[in-house]
A and B are shown apart, each in its own frame.
Chain A
């Protein structure tokens, strides 16, 4: 029974990593850049949702709001967070990354780190440094086996949302015209442009989708571990980046698999090895996997023809 509890903890944490990793992997796959500011977009999503919910609770809902009204307010706050993050993603891409499209990889990487710090410090200025306690979007738990196993609804919701997003993205890139344009850009930007695809618009679209996912991830992350501060996104961001590499960066199913495995390994290491060594175990596994399969679990090995 304990084992099942740990497994569920791991899967739900892993699902959050997976959603964040999807954002990393899409941007990398299409724009060939590591967007280190992705973790901080998550944090912004968390804050927007937090303030929207607090505002609704203080001004719009009565003293004893009905369940339906609370749900509507929560959904609206998530939607608002997605809109704000999408706009933020497009603005970041347009202002910080687009002018560097022809510059070297390192310049873009350093710009991304700069944007990450900018977002963190701006959040500290705007929202203050004191941590805020995020009220989970759903409360309560499912009790199974006469109370021996309890699963919080947050954990269930996280897993469901993650699967929906993963399936949605796979369909989108496979069937939709915009999705096909993304895959074309990912294979060869120059050739895609010659075929009449608007590369800049496609990359903006990628950032928009990635940032909207970040907003969802932010709300789920803060529901799962309810502390919200300007640095909330950085550690999960790094873990999710690891997950993306683990699964094969650029691959959508890879990010999903990598995120899930990462969460499960972390939970199991905490439970059965040591709470202290969990990160060490995690990265040790990563190193071993990369030694055996340098392109990650589901990554494609693409030899460069000279």
Chain B
């Protein structure tokens, strides 16, 4: 009996351990037979005679394997799932067109952790990934990008907004605007609309994303001689209590708090400020997107919060409405900007493949070089470009401007 109990407990523990890893691979079906050989066997190498640069000559065709890496579980899960969902919609739409170019999408969870992201990347490479849509967040992207650069995998990150993500490599492009852009633009916006604001900044200084935006914000604020009265930091281990930072901001006389952080700690800040009876204006960046979806969060506290976003689900153009309806039908919620970035991302890859004239049986290196060449001449109107055309510089940064919205009655409204 005792032995039986021991075995039972051991089993329970083992199951518990696995439970933590659950939800890793959401789509494991990728039979080796229908994924083109990425090892590029020497026997079939027709590309030597037709270099990728002679793009217009060739017609693009074949089924391309796109890998997606993002946090499907954990504190940033809302971003990863949004990207995975929206990418699937775009892939299904393109496949339904029945054209010569078809996509297969493989998704992997990185739990917003760099080490897990590298494992996810290697896993996808084993499954025959040719193009990477990812990673979704900056920190894991910085870990994955060096591998993708070495192994020549064309990489388009929907939302990894760190400047370092595209710095020093030629194969990584962004759909979202960079952190420097966000920091600078936030400072400009506050300066133009709240000229007398006494600003406090609370940021996470062990996170590149948060630190990067804060640095650019402060630089721009200084050049405009804006008044920053307090700067408070927090780290991964201390992101559940902000009473002391808020007390300090309040006693420094701040009436505007800039929060270049993700929505989970932001929801704590809003709740604790409310408990203290402190009511400044809060100004977030794209990481604030998702604040309205935190379970149990009193969304009335988010009323009047400003945030930067390139996408508003209320936009009335046809493409946005079609996408929002499809997303709601399939997943039962309103898509956020990360979803829109991912949807645009798949179409950008699609257009780039068309322009490059590549086939799915080429090696990763040939595909990568051809797509890099094609990106330079690409201009695309997407859900996240507000009607204008997105273009890319040689660094991989996109040209589009973040716009500020304010939360009113539980939705984003352009002020």
CB pair A129–B77 under 8 Å, yes or no, is: yes
Give the distance in Å from the alpha carbon of A136 to the alpha carbon of B298 in the complex.
Answer: 11
Whether the Cβ atoms of B251 and A2 lie closer than 8 Å is yes
A139 at the interface (CB under 8 A from B): yes
The stretch of B5-13, B62-70, B328-336 in contact with A is: B5-13
Residues of chain A contacted by B237 (CB below 8 angstroms): 235, 279
**Contact: B238 with A275, CB < 8 Å?**
yes
Among A1, A6, A117, A232, contact of B244 (Cβ-Cβ < 8 Å)? A6
Choose, from B99-107, B271-279, B318-326, B398-406, the stretch at the interface: B271-279
Chain A residue nearest to B77 in the complex (CB):
A130
Contact A131 B20 (CB under 8 A): no
Residue among A99, A130, A135, A267 making CB contact with B78, cutoff 8 Å: A130
**Given the contacts A117-B17, A124-B20, A226-B268, A9 and B244 also touching, CB distance less than 8 Å:** yes
Also in contact, A152 and B73, with CB within 8 A (given A132-B294, A276-B205): no
Task: Tell me whether A275 and B295 are in contact (CB under 8 A).
Answer: no
What is the minimal beta-carbon distance from B334 to any residue of chain A, in angstroms? 17
Residues of chain B contacted by A120 (CB below 8 angstroms): 20
Which residues of A, 1-41, contact B by the 8 Å Cβ criterion?
A: 1-2, 5-6, 9, 13
Q: A152: which B residues are within 8 A, CB to CB?
A: 275-277
Known: A5-B251, A9-B243, A275-B244. A133 touches B294 (CB 8 A): yes
Q: A50-B296, A130-B295, A133-B295 are in contact. Are A225 and B16 (CB under 8 A)?
A: no
Asked if A70 is at the interface of the complex by the 8 Å CB criterion, the answer is no
- Residues of B273-312 whose CB lies within 8 A of A: 275-278, 294-298
Q: A6-B247, A278-B238 are in contact. Are A122 and B19 (CB under 8 A)?
A: yes
Q: From A1, A122, A271, give the contact of B16 (CB < 8 A).
A: A122
Q: Which of B16, B77, B248, B265 contacts A121 (CB 8 A)?
A: B16
Cα A276 to Cα B232 in complex, Å, equals 9
Q: How far is the CB of B264 from chain A (nearest CB, A)?
A: 5
A68 to B1, CA, bound (A): 50
Contact between chains at A54 and B17 (CB < 8 Å): no
The complex places the Cα of A235 from the Cα of B235 at a distance, in Å, of 13
Please judge, given known A-B contacts A1-B251, A96-B9, whether A154 and B19 are in contact too, CB under 8 Å: no
A131 touches B275 (CB 8 A): no
Query: Which residue of B has the minimal Cβ distance to A236?
Result: B240
Whole-angstrom distance between the Cβ of A147 and the nearest chain B Cβ = 8
Cα of A114 to Cα of B224 in the assembled complex, Å: 55
Contact call A118/B248, Cβ cutoff below 8 A: no
Cα–Cα distance between A152 and B275 once the two chains are bound (Å): 6
The CA-CA distance from A5 to B75 in the complex, in Å, is 30
Closest to B202 in A: A275
A288 beta carbon closer than 8 Å to chain B: no
How big is the B interface, by class?
35 or more
Q: Does A183 contact B (CB under 8 A)?
A: no
Given contacts A118-B12, A130-B78, A130-B295, contact A224 B241 (CB under 8 A): yes
A136, B272: Cα distance in complex, Å: 10
Contacts of B241 in A (CB 8 A): 13, 224-225
Chain B residues closer than 8 Å to A295, beta-carbon distance: none
Interface string of B384-412 (1 = CB under 8 A from A): 00000000000000000000000000000
Please report the C-alpha to C-alpha distance between residue A125 and residue B12 in the assembled complex, in whole angstroms: 13
CB <8 Å contact, B244 and A225: no
Is B159 an interface position by the 8 A CB rule?
no
**Distance in angstroms between the alpha carbons of A50 and B297 in the assembled complex:** 12
Q: Could you tell me the distance between the alpha carbons of A270 and B265 in the complex, rounded to whole angstroms?
A: 17
Q: Which residue of B lies closest to A151 (CB)?
A: B276
Interface of B is mostly: helix
Contacts of A224 in B (CB 8 A): 241, 243
Contacts of B234 in A (CB 8 A): 275
Classify chain A's interface size. Answer: 35 or more
Q: Is residue A143 contacting chain B, with contact meaning CB distance below 8 A?
A: yes
Select which of A121, A125, A133 is within 8 A of B267 by beta carbon.
A133
Q: Is B245 an interface residue (CB 8 A)?
A: yes
Residue numbers in B under 8 Å from A13 (CB-CB): 241, 243
Do A141 and B277 touch (CB < 8 A)? yes
Does A95 touch B at the CB level, under 8 Å? Answer: yes
> Does A229 sit at the interface, judged by CB under 8 A?
yes
Q: Are B276 and A150 in contact (CB under 8 A)?
A: yes
**B58 within 8 A of partner (CB):** no
A275 touches B251 (CB 8 A): no
Find out whether the CB atom of A54 lies under 8 angstroms from the CB atom of B244.
no
B1 smallest CB distance to A (angstroms): 12
List chain A residues, Cβ under 8 A from B233. Answer: 275-276
User: Is B195 among interface residues, defined by CB-CB distance under 8 A?
Assistant: no
Return A164 CB to nearest CB of chain B, in Å: 22
Which residues from A are CB-within-8-Å of B271?
Answer: 133, 136, 226
A114 touches B13 (CB 8 A): yes
Residues on the B chain within 8 Å of A276, using CB: 205, 233, 235
Q: Is the CB of B276 within 8 A of A118?
A: no
* Chain A neighbourhood of B247, CB < 8 A: 2, 5-6, 9, 271
Residues of B contacting A232 in the complex (Cβ-Cβ under 8 angstroms):
240
Which residue of the partner chain B has the closest CB to A12?
Answer: B243
- Within 252-303 of A, Cβ neighbours of B (below 8 Å) are at 267, 270-271, 275-276, 278-279
Question: B410 to chain A: closest CB distance in Å?
Answer: 15
For the complex, give the distance between the alpha carbons of A6 and B277 in Å. Answer: 15
Whether, in the assembled complex, A134 has its beta carbon less than 8 Å from a beta carbon of chain B, the answer is yes
**Contact pick for A134, options B77, B238, B245, B296, CB 8 Å:** B296
For residue B19, which residues in chain A have a CB less than 8 angstroms away from its CB?
121-122, 124-125
A163 CB contacts on chain B under 8 angstroms:
none
Q: Which residue of A lies closest to B13 (CB)?
A: A118
Do B16 and A227 touch across chains, with their CB atoms under 8 A apart?
A: no
Contact A129 B74 (CB under 8 A): yes
Chain A contacts for B239, CB-based, 8 A: 227
| A139 engages B275 (CB within 8 Å) | yes
B74, B251, B272: the one contacting A225 at CB < 8 Å is B272
In the complex, 15 of the A-B residue pairs with CB atoms within 8 angstroms, ordered by the A residue number, are A13-B243, A117-B20, A121-B17, A125-B19, A129-B73, A129-B111, A131-B264, A133-B267, A133-B268, A134-B296, A141-B277, A150-B278, A152-B276, A267-B244, A275-B245
5 further contact pairs, Cβ within 8 A, besides A9-B247, A131-B75: A5-B247, A121-B17, A125-B16, A135-B296, A275-B245
